[in-house]
A and B are shown apart, each in its own frame.
Chain A
């Protein structure tokens, strides 16, 4: 099967007179016209023949939960001395599973079942962090062990989390529905379980996650900088993985690669020597 790398095709080439390249373009076929021969590689529902090497994980068919577990395994626990539960960003899942709507739907189901929790990280309105509920509870209580706020945090985790799946809480809800007093709310903010959103409302947060956010932003900037410095602002994925990382990239290159692909900061171009990551123009 012919593979054409469209990496630097000048725009005017694709006007009327380039039917030649158009001839070799893979054609989109609707599902109802079934192609009788099975080709190697995966097909989207519109029959676009995609070579298996295109996706990052080609061998393992992962559902959303499996993908979450895989990404959680990439998270460096030792870096934070095991005080943080493995944090996965929602858009990292899009780099593993191509169908975003399905991923969103399955994530919402998992959230409603109480298996995962979602948090707003604060640096980007669209970036949500996903943590397994079990891990979160264990780490949050461990962080509080020995302090006087332990009781309040425990009460919060047991009463609020199972019933209410929101990302943020406002004062009314805390006082009336869950019967927390003002001092208890202050204690929760002090312990890191709640973060101030604006007057009278709070985000749900991960205690001690400030360092994570700092390392994450630093690492993302460093990886994008590496791609920007290269000629033509593109780099092969395998090449990027083998490069020596600066000290700024503390969370691991794989973690950041999933992040920048899922957030669409780079586009993945399939080539004969693997996936090419090219910086998008914005």
Chain B
């Protein structure tokens, strides 16, 4: 570590290198920490989490009972022991609360004055954060599985909504209209995501095993469909031709630079695609168990040198290296199925919510404070908890005592 600092100081290394190395080290040492906790407000499972991108301070969570909670993640208490408190909630007593489970929540990408939530009560509500009243409500014919608003869009304020209907609907925040639809899928649309690189590119995943990429300015249909066999029609049976997965596709995530797209499906596979050509990069992650009947929300780290993807697998969160497919570790801590996870890029924290109504915060292990007379042999860098004499082995193995 000191080597990197001095290299940056002299000018041998790019300053970005130290940042990347340190971020990677921190992400590799994620674990549950007794000092960090998130206040438990939800009485039912937590379906979705979102951390706002402007300050990284507030987190939205949506639960299976329709409740939406806003947490303050910042630690102003000057003590390491900190519980993230809820700032406000849209609880069951609120007149405008969702009737059924909230499936997706998202902050307005440009400031925290507004957020959107969609739910199984067939509505998408746009809320004002100050007053916690919905400024706009969009009604749909079927359950709304997911929605997403482009994080980088300047020229449009479209929200893409995936519902039980095979048509993907685009709702415009500026005018309140919903006439733009994207046709092409033949099954329910389980996940939609805008590209973080190009503001007009949208990816949608559906139960008909297909993932389509759209340019919303184009009138005539999707740009292309992701094909898991990369056009080698010979590898698959003819029904499986041109599909992204051999089952329902229920999770989508772009990498932070927007160059690659990850998809997960109920065939227990996760695939990495080149988002500009639609080519399957054939990275083999092994079996990523996936039994979710709705969308699966997973996340990719950002800022690390080899990127990592965090996928909820049953009751644990599996962490894979993005480009090699290697399973790094499984984060265990939830009592029941994990439904969503969200990565905080500034502090390299991972927040995950599940059916056990808990939101867990996975924090990089704090560094061991350097002890003066530490000998050479124990110079192991990376994640060591501080020595607590109560946990040290007190028995001696020497033969002299016997």
Min distance, Cβ B80 to any Cβ of chain A, angstroms: 13
Q: Are B25 and A282 in contact (CB under 8 A)?
A: no
Which of B34, B282, B385 meets A104, CB within 8 Å?
A: B282
Q: Are B289 and A100 in contact (CB under 8 A)?
A: no
Which of A30, A99, A197 meets B238, CB within 8 Å?
A: A197
* A168 and B21 contact, Cβ closer than 8 Å, known pairs A27-B384, A28-B382, A33-B381: no
Q: Are B29 and A27 in contact (CB under 8 A)?
A: yes
Q: Are B29 and A104 in contact (CB under 8 A)?
A: no
Q: Are B382 and A29 in contact (CB under 8 A)?
A: yes
Q: Please name the residue on chain A nearest to B239 by beta carbon.
A: A198
8 Å CB contacts to A: which residues of B349-392? 365, 376-377, 379-385, 391
Min distance, Cβ B121 to any Cβ of chain A, angstroms: 33
Q: Are B24 and A166 in contact (CB under 8 A)?
A: no
Q: Return the CB mask of B29-42 against A: 1 if under 8 Å, else 0.
A: 10111100100000
Query: What residues on A are CB-neighbors of B321 within 8 Å?
Result: 46
Q: Does B232 lie at the interface of the complex (its beta carbon under 8 Å from any beta carbon of A)?
A: yes
With an 8 Å Cβ cutoff, the count of chain B residues facing the other chain is: 52
* A16 and B32 contact, Cβ closer than 8 Å, known pairs A28-B329, A99-B326: yes
Among B328, B333, B381: residue with most chain A CB under 10 A: B381
Whole-angstrom CA separation of A70 from B238 in the bound complex: 34
Which of B34, B237, B283, B287 meets A125, CB within 8 Å?
A: B237
Q: Are B286 and A29 in contact (CB under 8 A)?
A: no
Query: What residues on A are CB-neighbors of B240 within 8 Å?
Result: 125
Q: Does B277 lie at the interface of the complex (its beta carbon under 8 Å from any beta carbon of A)?
A: no
Query: What residues on A are CB-neighbors of B283 within 8 Å?
Result: 101
Query: What residues on A are CB-neighbors of B91 within 8 Å?
Result: none
Query: What residues on A are CB-neighbors of B379 within 8 Å?
Result: 36
Min distance, Cβ A46 to any Cβ of chain B, angstroms: 6
* A30 and B25 contact, Cβ closer than 8 Å, known pairs A14-B333, A19-B34: yes
Query: What residues on A are CB-neighbors of B21 within 8 Å?
Result: 30, 32-33
Q: Does A167 lie at the interface of the complex (its beta carbon under 8 Å from any beta carbon of B)?
A: yes
Q: Does A60 lie at the interface of the complex (its beta carbon under 8 Å from any beta carbon of B)?
A: no
Q: Return the CB mask of B240-284 against A: 1 if under 8 Å, else 0.
A: 100000100000000000000000000010000000000000111
Query: What residues on B are CB-neighbors of A163 within 8 Å?
Result: none
Q: Does A12 lie at the interface of the complex (its beta carbon under 8 Å from any beta carbon of B)?
A: yes
Q: Are B325 and A30 in contact (CB under 8 A)?
A: no
Query: What residues on A are CB-neighbors of B284 within 8 Å?
Result: 100-101, 103-104
Among B21, B234, B238, B324: residue with most chain A CB under 10 A: B234
Which of B28, B34, B268 meets A16, CB within 8 Å?
A: B34
Q: Please name the residue on chain A nearest to B329 by beta carbon.
A: A28
Query: What residues on B are CB-neighbors of A29 within 8 Å?
Result: 25, 28, 380-382
Whole-angstrom CA separation of A19 from B387 in the bound complex: 12
Among A25, A33, A167: residue with most chain B CB under 10 A: A33
Which of A12, A27, A197 meets B237, CB within 8 Å?
A: A197
Which of B29, B234, B246, B268 meets A168, CB within 8 Å?
A: B234
Q: Does A243 lie at the interface of the complex (its beta carbon under 8 Å from any beta carbon of B)?
A: no
* A35 and B380 contact, Cβ closer than 8 Å, known pairs A11-B315, A15-B333, A125-B240: yes
Q: Are B234 and A100 in contact (CB under 8 A)?
A: no
8 Å CB contacts to B: which residues of A81-138? 94, 98-105, 120, 125-126
Q: Does B332 lie at the interface of the complex (its beta carbon under 8 Å from any beta carbon of A)?
A: yes
Whole-angstrom CA separation of A281 from B268 in the bound complex: 13
Whole-angstrom CA separation of A183 from B25 in the bound complex: 65
Query: What residues on A are CB-neighbors of B28 within 8 Å?
Result: 27-30, 46
Q: Are A30 and B391 in contact (CB under 8 A)?
A: no
Whole-angstrom CA separation of A11 from B332 in the bound complex: 8
Whole-angstrom CA separation of A94 from B315 in the bound complex: 25
Q: Return the CB mask of A21-47 against B: 1 if under 8 Å, else 0.
A: 011010111101101110000001111
Q: Does B87 lie at the interface of the complex (its beta carbon under 8 Å from any beta carbon of A)?
A: no
Query: What residues on A are CB-neighbors of B138 within 8 Å?
Result: none
Q: Does A144 lie at the interface of the complex (its beta carbon under 8 Å from any beta carbon of B)?
A: no
Q: Are A100 and B31 in contact (CB under 8 A)?
A: no
Q: Please name the residue on chain A nearest to B392 by beta carbon.
A: A23
Min distance, Cβ B234 to any Cβ of chain A, angstroms: 4
Q: Are A201 and B238 in contact (CB under 8 A)?
A: yes
* A264 and B232 contact, Cβ closer than 8 Å, known pairs A12-B335, A28-B329, A201-B238: no
Whole-angstrom CA separation of A167 from B29 in the bound complex: 44
Min distance, Cβ A247 to any Cβ of chain B, angstroms: 31
Query: What residues on B are CB-neighbors of A201 within 8 Å?
Result: 238
Whole-angstrom CA separation of A198 from B283 in the bound complex: 29
Q: Does B54 lie at the interface of the complex (its beta carbon under 8 Å from any beta carbon of A)?
A: no
Q: Does B236 lie at the interface of the complex (its beta carbon under 8 Å from any beta carbon of A)?
A: yes
Min distance, Cβ A281 to any Cβ of chain B, angstroms: 8
Whole-angstrom CA separation of A16 from B32 in the bound complex: 6
Query: What residues on B are CB-neighbors of A47 within 8 Å?
Result: 382
Which of B238, B314, B329, B334 meets A198, CB within 8 Å?
A: B238
Min distance, Cβ A160 to any Cβ of chain B, angstroms: 12
8 Å CB contacts to A: which residues of B82-116? none
Min distance, Cβ A43 to any Cβ of chain B, angstroms: 12
Q: Are B382 and A27 in contact (CB under 8 A)?
A: yes
Min distance, Cβ B262 to any Cβ of chain A, angstroms: 14
Q: Are B391 and A101 in contact (CB under 8 A)?
A: no
Question: Could you pull out 24 A-B pairs where Cβ atoms are within 8 angstroms?
Answer: A11-B332, A14-B332, A20-B391, A22-B31, A22-B32, A23-B391, A27-B28, A27-B29, A27-B365, A28-B29, A28-B383, A29-B28, A30-B21, A30-B382, A32-B21, A35-B381, A46-B328, A47-B382, A120-B235, A125-B246, A126-B246, A197-B237, A264-B287, A282-B289
Q: Could you list 8 further interchain pairs (A-B, Cβ under 8 angstroms) beyond the known A22-B31, A27-B384? A: A27-B365, A27-B380, A28-B383, A30-B28, A32-B24, A32-B305, A33-B382, A94-B286
**10 residue pairs, one from A and one from B, having the closest CB atoms:** A166-B234, A100-B284, A27-B383, A28-B28, A168-B234, A264-B287, A29-B382, A16-B34, A33-B381, A101-B325
